[in-house]
Structure formats: C-alpha cells, structure tokens
Structure 1
C-alpha cells in the first residue's frame, strides 16, 4: 500500500514537472496540475479551475491605461476654494464609457425595470424632467419631450441624481452579465433586480426554481462575468479627461506637457484643418451666449448635444469637457487632495474629516445651522456643461451637490476596474 501510494505521488509529481517544463503557468494557461502540490485540477480530488481567456469585453467601454500623473486644477482658482491643489498620484488602468449615458439607454433601463421590478422602484427610477422648467424661461417643451422624443435619443440623460446613477450601474452589471451568460441574448423573464412585482412574485419564484434547478450560478472564480459597472472615482475621471497619454513620447518617463482642457493648447477652438475655429466642446460662451449667432452657429447647441459630437480626447472619450457635468463616486471634502492616498485616491466617507464632530467642537460642518453645505451626502461632479462657462471645462475643477438632487446640466458615464491585472 505504501509503495503504491509513493508511486502514485511520484507519477503525479513527474507530470507536474513535465507541465512546468513547457513554461511557467499563467492565469489563462494554469496547466493540468497544481505547481505547488502536483494534484491534478478538475478531478474529484482536485480543485475546479475554469477556462479563462481574459476579461470579457464590456459594451460601451474604452480601456484607459493608467500610470503616474499630476492631478489638480491647472486654472487660476477664481472661486478661491483651493480644494484641488496639484499633487502626484498613480492611477491603475481601468475602463470607462466612451460617451455619456444617453436618453435611449435610460429608457432601456426603465423598460426592464418596469418589466422585472416593483412599481415603486420604477417610479423612483424616473428622471426628474422638471429640471428644465423655469418660471422666467420657456423651456416647457423639454419637460415633455427631451427624455422620450426619438430625436433626443442620443443626447445625454439629465435630471438623474447620484443615487439613481448608482442604481443604473447595478442594473447594467446584472443585465450585461445575464446577456453574456445567455450567449448574447437576454431572454430570461422575471426575477427583477430591484424586487418583484407583488402580483407575480410567487409565479416568478416558481419559474426561476424550475429553470435554475441544478444550474450553477456564475461565480468570480469562473472569470466569465464582468466586474461591476460603477461611477468613476474623481481621480479616475480627472485622469481620463486629461488624456496626457497623447502627449507622451515613447521611452520618455517625464510628463513634460500639461493640459488645461482635454485637448492641447489654451484655446477652446480647433486650431487645425478644415474645422479651424470651431469650438471643441459644448459650453456657454458668455452671458446669454449659448451657441453663437444665426447663420454662423458655432458650438451649435443651445442645450445638450449628441453624445458623439465634438472630437474625442486621446483615450477616445467623447465630451469629457462640456455637454453635461458628470457625477463621480467621491463625497466632497475641501481637503481631499491632501487626505487621500497617492495610489488610486478616493474619498468614500468623512474619514479624517467628519461632517459632525460628535463632541461639541467646531471641527464639523454645520449644515443644520446653515453655516455649511457639506455633509456625507454631497457628491462631486466634474466636467462643465452646456450652461457653464469655459472655466469649468478644465478637468481639475470640481463642484458638489446633494446625492439625491438633479439638474438639467448633470449626467454621468460608467467605469469598471481592469480585473486580473496589476497595471
């Protein structure tokens, strides 16, 4: 018995060594045997190791190569906030939507939410179209038509709060992975992500039980599902907007160029070619001037614009300046630039700078006493919009608003980690 056991382990070890001789194991080619125990994978005794060909391609995403950079405002601090002072950080590579989430995408979201979820959640997912309404301005048509009229399909969705944008990211993750699992078509019915309708809850549960009997749910270890879609961190957003990758020379580790906007130069007009003189973003040129004069419209947009209009930056991202501001993950604090870490900086809560002191001291933010607008429910937004002047187009500028509020000038886009890589 001892001899046969010895021979079995010797044979397994020899097989493992033979596998190693073909090259070091990798994530996509782990080999047939464990390189530490010699035990064969995917057997009754061994561990299950799924086939893995790399992260699946996420719809709408562009790869953003990370690295060292200098974040912070490159413009004169006209607001005197000093809340984004320049500092050197490193950002890991990630993915980001090439364009802002558009009306048609939100209508698709509402379609599935209404079909799969409780009516209460559907109502909470509706954008606030009254953000267009003004007592002293005739924007009434946008209240009724901007979200649903076909001509506005690929204009950025607005009237969406930070909380609603987060819910959309959660739904998108589930829906995309469901589609990947079904081979490209989403045919499964029921089982809403945000809760079933009470009317059909029992029937849906019975159908899911019958359909999924004995079927294994996708797991992280399988490597066949996408990581979560989410809002980008403020640092990721600013890094992607700068797109300094377009200024780097191969082999030069010094970042010798800086951009005020997501393009080269100090001007907001195209300095080259047939489109020389045309604006590079959709923004407000000055008091009462949103688009230029009739017969010679320049940025061409009194309000928002087609999400693929204007040239993309060097990462291939559209409208990282102007059109609409964009929500990011971070809560707002004036001193985040000196508090957060220098690798993948992010502020998720009031750590080190609490909204309430808790001991009666004056170190907190007195929002209840109307001495401050800051608490743990205000979020950063960036990028400038159709109704902002050029100052806010600079990636280093930042503003904040309550996470449950919405305006006609704020939208969003999604991001995703670069899973399975240390770059």
Structure 2
C-alpha cells in the first residue's frame, strides 16, 4: 500500500471514528464508513448495509411499553390453587394485536392454506366447530354458521387449539414478510406511496437473500424490511398488557401506587361514568343462567361471543383483554411457575426445575405434563372472577373449546422503547 492510499484510509477511519457529521452512528444512520475499521460500506470489498428506517408497521398491532410491574392474582384465590402469587418482574416492550383473531382472519388463513398447501394440511387447519355442540343445549346452528356466516366475520375464532394457533402465527409471519419483501424489491412503493400498511418501507438490501417465506420469495433479516415473528404472547406479557398500568402514577414517581383487579379502574364490572353508566365493561356470564340480561334492556347483549371491538379498550388500546374469549399464551402450565421463572421477561418453556415426571398423569392423579398450556382472560361463559388478569387456567395444547381464542404478539426489535 503506497503512502497516499494509506493516508486516505487513515483520514477516512479517523473521520468515521470521530463521526465527522451528525454525531455518533445509529441503526438508522450508520454512516458511509465503519466506525471500527474505516472500511467503506456497500462497496465490492465492504459489507452491505441496507437502509433502515425502523421496524415496519405490522397490521393490527399495538405497541406495549414495557417496564416493572407486579404480576399475580389480585383477587382472593377462591380455587385455592396458589399458582400465581404476586411477584415483581420487568417486561420488555413488545407489540400485541389490538383485538382477538377473528373468523374472517382464520378464513383468510384457510384460503391461502388450501391454495398453497396439501389437503391434509388444510384439514389440520380447520377449527373444531363441534365445540358448540352440547347434548342438552340447542347450539347446533353455531356448529354450521359461526365460522363462515358473514355476520360472524369479526367475532373471535374459537375451536382452535394451541397447536393450531401457533401454526397460524407461523403462516402470518410468512405471509406478511413475503409481501414486505416484495414491496422492498419494488422500491418501497405499492400504490399511494404508503407501502403495504400505510408506512413507507425501507429501501435497499437484497430481497433475494435469506430465508424462504413459503411463498417463493426469500427475505433477509439484515435488510430490516421484514417483521419479527408473530407468536403467542407469553403469560407475563399477556398479563402485563391486560393490566395496562400506564399513566396511573405521578410524573417522576416510580412507585406504582394504583392496582387494578380488572383491565380498568375500580372494583366493579360496570361503567360508573357518563351516558353508559351501568353497562358492563366486558362480555361474561353475569350469574347462573344469565348471559346477557333481559329483552328490551340487554346489558352486555352477548349470549355467546361478541364483536372483537366491542366494549371499551384498556389504556394500551387493547380490546377484550377480559371476557369474550379466553386466550392461549405460550407458557406450559406449572402451579409454581412464579417461584421458578426469571424476573426479566418470565416464561415457562418446559419442565425445567419442575419436570413432568413429578406429576402422576398416567394414573389420573394429575392433569399436568409438558403438553398442557396456560390460557387467560375469562370468556362469555365464565363468571367475573376469571376476568382478573392474574387468574390462570390450563388445557392440553391439542384441545379446543368454544370459549378459547387467541391474539398474536411480537418483540420490539432493536429498541428498548
């Protein structure tokens, strides 16, 4: 290397290290040169660094700002299970669907599965509509109509097992990122100049690198043009999002002085204010044999499930975090998870520290194993006790009912806020 070339590299390197223009490098403004080697990016010899303008906007997702909180049962433990005692944890920021996955969303999923996959996979994706059938109840019409009749389009999908919900998350990730990769390959425009979800997409990068989405288009994480995986929320994320304890403390005061039994203020389940005073704030079973009130003055108005955007959202903007349908979460069930899980992003992944061999399921002394998952939130057929975010129940991951649905979540990649 001659002296002039060496000098040029030295000057470039010094300029990069000193961040000559615009301050230190950032994810969205990494600069033209490496701040450690001085090598120029996006050249024949240099590393390719794609333009990045932040995580793309995902459809239906709401940002959940993380932080410290106290998780656990806020109500009296009437079941005497002692399986969710209060503990202080910190949850990282994440995204969550603002509403439950609805019938129309599942029908869209079935459409593409039938189009792109085998008949066997399509049959495996079908919800169990017979969950509505009861031997001593005339719910037969729901078996035929609930999933497919247009009037039920935006009612929550039910009859979906934990395993099926996970398959949906995988498909949704693939389908959304396939479209984002195509959008980036077209230069970030898709009519109207706003991209697929109303936000300009990142340009640059090689959309042909990376992993196959399942639709024939390959994507690359390094491009920044794709979203992280859709998935079921962890139990801690779900409970934290349901509490929605934001804006309840004074500015500069880090003490959480207010708690909530439900995803709204107060100990009551009726709206205490304004023209809607006295109306219920969630869809649940009000009492024995009472699902909706009396004709002419129906209160919650929902004998079964309800429109996924019914009832006021909580302070995060999430609808029906109590009532309507219970929701699957990622965690396997263990009665003493609160003792074992970490205090940062707690999650029960498997039988570690509490193996399934300890539970006598073979002789019907227990229902617990590594294929039993937690569900949360209460439903249209549950009493008010189960509306409290701290309550938890469990069911086999391959089972389904008319009272369990789900919503998706996603990490907030590359940011603590």
Above 0.5 in TM-score? Answer: yes
Is 1:374–2:375 an aligned residue pair?
no
Residue deviations 1:290-311 (CA, integer Å, cap 9, x gap): 0011111100000000000000
Q: 1:219 offset after TM fit, Å?
A: 1.0
State how far apart, in whole Å, the 2-side matches of 1:131 and 1:174 are: 29
State how far apart, in whole Å, the 2-side matches of 1:150 and 1:9 are: 66
Which residue of the partner structure matches residue 272 of structure 2?
Answer: 271
State how far apart, in whole Å, the 1-side matches of 2:248 and 2:10 are: 57
Which residue of the partner structure matches residue 410 of structure 2?
Answer: 416
**TM-score with structure 2 setting the length:** 0.91
Which residue of the partner structure matches residue 390 of structure 1?
Answer: 384
Q: Secondary structure at the match of 1:379?
A: strand
User: Would you say the 8 A contact 2:328–2:373 is kept in 1?
Assistant: yes
User: Would you say the 8 A contact 2:213–2:219 is kept in 1?
Assistant: no
State how far apart, in whole Å, the 2-side matches of 1:193 and 1:45 are: 29
Which residue of the partner structure matches residue 25 of structure 2?
Answer: 25
User: Would you say the 8 A contact 1:245–1:314 is kept in 2?
Assistant: yes
Q: 1:14 offset after TM fit, Å?
A: 4.5
State how far apart, in whole Å, the 2-side matches of 1:16 and 1:307 are: 51
Which residue of the partner structure matches residue 355 of structure 2?
Answer: 354
User: Would you say the 8 A contact 2:177–2:213 is kept in 1?
Assistant: no
Q: 1:139 offset after TM fit, Å?
A: 0.2
Q: 1:9 offset after TM fit, Å?
A: 2.2
CA distance 1:348–1:14, shift in 2 (3 Å) = closer
State how far apart, in whole Å, the 1-side matches of 2:272 and 2:156 are: 27
Is 1:170–2:170 an aligned residue pair?
yes
State how far apart, in whole Å, the 2-side matches of 1:139 and 1:101 are: 22
User: Would you say the 8 A contact 1:19–1:32 is kept in 2?
Assistant: no
State how far apart, in whole Å, the 2-side matches of 1:14 and 1:370 are: 71
Q: 1:15 offset after TM fit, Å?
A: 4.1
State the aligned residue count.
393
User: Would you say the 8 A contact 1:159–1:406 is kept in 2?
Assistant: yes
State how far apart, in whole Å, the 2-side matches of 1:65 and 1:5 are: 49
State how far apart, in whole Å, the 1-side matches of 2:145 and 2:404 are: 18
Which residue of the partner structure matches residue 146 of structure 2?
Answer: 146
State how far apart, in whole Å, the 2-side matches of 1:134 and 1:13 are: 74
Q: Secondary structure at the match of 2:62?
A: strand
Structure 1's unaligned 5+ residue stretches are 187-191, 195-203, 357-363
Q: 1:251 offset after TM fit, Å?
A: 1.8
- State which drifts further: 311-320 or 9-18: 9-18
State how far apart, in whole Å, the 1-side matches of 2:299 and 2:247 are: 26
User: Would you say the 8 A contact 1:173–1:227 is kept in 2?
Assistant: yes
Structure 2's unaligned 5+ residue stretches are 184-189, 197-211
- State which drifts further: 218-227 or 273-282: 218-227
CA RMSD of aligned residues (A): 1.7
State how far apart, in whole Å, the 2-side matches of 1:13 and 1:304 are: 63
- Please give the residue correspondences for 1:174-193 in structure 2 after superposition, counting only pairs within 5 Å: 174-183=174-183
Q: Secondary structure at the match of 1:245?
A: coil
